[in-house]
Structure 1
């Protein structure tokens, strides 16, 4: 259950990052509320996961999901560069998160 909570925390982190970009573009209350909800839920699920998982592992996986997911979503929705080296390094971040799962 802790790993499910951690993945959910990472997904809400990605949503929060998307909402930062939306807030910068739109400057409205709805975007701000969605941003706060996304990051709030992210921290909630991270705290649930950390009741069972070691702090270092949980934090590393959470930031890995958020960072790589944010980069991928930026490529999909905002036309950010999609070059092979960028994709390779995103894959390395995700592989590191999977590696931490395997050894925890």
Structure 2
């Protein structure tokens, strides 16, 4: 496995995590009133865990897990702000920036 491929898998795992958290919100508590979102949640979750499984073959588990959840958290917060009207306060923006810096730092070391 090339050295960059696990990082691509990890990035995709994080993007799919954003997808499954968003679908969880849209599913209205996994209500069968919105079965498409429930199915989409399952597909995004399966894709996320599958990509994570591939990523940890070339990236230390602790590093991969921290970055995976960091991408998911950061992306989900952005989705919440942009599409669901979640609050944007200076403190939230500062902590989002700190999270992004931490993700980049883990990739660099």
TM-score > 0.5, shorter chain as reference: yes
| 1:10 match | 14
Q: Deviations over 1:32-53 (max 9, x none)?
A: 0000011110000001000000
Alignment deviations for residues 26-85 of structure 1 (CA, whole Å, 9 cap, x no partner): 832111000001111000000100000000000000000001111111000000001111
Deviation of the 1:87 alpha carbon? 1.0
Aligned to 2:84: 78
Report the Cα distance in structure 2 between the residues aligned to 1:102 and 1:88, rounded to whole angstroms.
21
- In structure 2, C-alpha distance between the alignment counterparts of 1:100 and 1:25, rounded to whole Å: 34
Scaled by the length of structure 1, what TM-score is found?
0.95
Q: Deviations over 1:6-42 (max 9, x none)?
A: 0000000001010011001783211100000111100
Q: Match of 2:17, SS?
A: helix
State the TM-score, normalizing by the size of structure 2. 0.91
* Structure 1 segments unaligned to the other structure (5+ residues): none
After TM superposition, list the pairs within 5 Å mapping 1:27-46 onto structure 2: 27=31, 28-46=34-52
For this pair of structures, how many residues does the alignment match?
103
**Partner of residue 103 from structure 2, selected from 97, 100, 103:** 97
SS at match of 2:86: coil
